[in-house]
Each structure stands twice: as structure tokens, then as C-alpha cells.
Amino acid sequence: MLVLLSGLALFAARPGPGTPPLALPPGGAAPDATALDGTWTVAGGSTGGFRVVQTVLGARSGIAGRTGEITGTATFVRDTLTVAHFSMDLRTLLVNGKTQPQFATSAGVTDAPVATFDLTGPVAATGLGTGTTVTAPVAGRLSLHGVTRPVVAQVSARRSADRLELAGAIPVVFTDWGIRAPRNYGPLGSLDAEGTAEWLLEMRHR
């Protein structure tokens, strides 16, 4: 989910505030009568990708890769998230609306084109069915670059009309997934050696 390496996007964004993290949008509609229990499926309007901090001439800003090619499901039983699996097609990530020529090589996309997250333990979601925003750490396994490791995602969720909205983030240290550290350019610019995999999902009851 998170891949910006080997100068992939250095200087891709001018110094400034940069791209903000994905998060639940302000407001949200009152939930309808759809029960929370059951299986929810990722729907159109979902987005995900990575965010990493760059330094250019001493100024730090966030840059991001984004894709809408996300699939997955989440299952609730008695207000508890019991099963979740999400996949993201890394071949479709865009930085500033464009593909990056170094991406496939740096991220090993040819051999591992899809990143996945799988829940590894139940998560209480008390109040979610009534429209309350629930925020919790969520343990799972992240598969990226052909490597699977345990992670803890910070997730916020809420019901809005007939949708379930999920926003989450996972810190990723490149070398933990066997990804080469970014090439830096001294005082001219550099990329941090870690970043954040993140997503904002619109889900519908199946």
C-alpha cells in the first residue's frame, strides 16, 4: 500500500502543506435502518494509497499516491468486527495524477502487484450502528512487496445513511518489507525512510 522509493517522487510536489492524510469527511448523515451485522463490501468512491514526507531545500511536505482500485469486505457480528480483508492494486497508483516510471521496479509490482490487509482479531464496534464514530486500533497482517508482517492500523468508522465509512492508516518502514530505502539528494531533497499506508472506504451492506 505504501511505495515511494528510489527518488520515485522526489520533487514531485513543491514545498508547501502537501497532501493531507485520508480521514472521515466532516459531518455525515444519520444512519438508516440497515443493520450493522452482516457483511459490508467496498463500493465506488473509495480511495487509498500511501503518504510520505519529502524535504526539499529544507521545507517538508507530504506527497501521496492514490488509487480507487480497492476491493474487500468486512463482517460484523453483534456489533463486533470479526472478519475483514482488503486488497489494493498497486499498478494503478498515481502521484499527482500521473504514473511514476520507477514505481514498478522499486515496489516489485511485477511480482507482487497487490497489497492486502487481513484482520487477525475481533474489534468491538459498540455504538457504530447508531451513527457514533468509533476509533480503535485494529490488529492485522499487511502483505506488501511479497512480505507479510503483523501491523496495527488506526481506524475510524461511522455509519452515514446507508453507507459504512472507514478511514485507516498503517505506518510502514520500507526496510521492514524488504523495500530499498529511498535515494536522497543531500541538501537538495530527500524522502523519509518510512511513510503511511492509508485508505478511506465507502462500504455497502451486501
**Cα dihedral 2, 177, 138, 103 in deg (nearest 10):** 10
Query: Rounded distance, CA 126 to CA 132, Å?
Result: 9
Q: Which CATH code fits 38-205?
A: 2.40.128.110
Cα distance between residue 87 and residue 94, in whole Å: 17
Q: Quote the pLDDT of residue 102.
A: 55
Tens-digit pLDDT profile for residues 143-194: 998 999 999 999 999 999 999 999 999 999 988 988 776 666 666 666 777 8
- CA-wise closest residue to 118 among 98, 148, 91: 148
pLDDT in the model for residue 6: 36
pLDDT at 16: 43
At residue 202, φ and ψ (nearest 5 deg) are -105, 120
Instruction: Report the predicted TM-score, pTM, of the whole model to 2 decimal places.
Output: 0.84
State whether residue 107 is helix, strand or coil: helix
Domain positions in the chain: 38-205
pLDDT of residue 13: 39
Q: Secondary structure of 171-189 in the HEC alphabet?
A: EEEHHHHCCCCCCCCHHHE
Q: Which tens digit of pLDDT belongs to each residue from 38-94?
A: 999 999 999 999 888 776 766 776 778 899 999 999 999 999 999 999 999 988 988
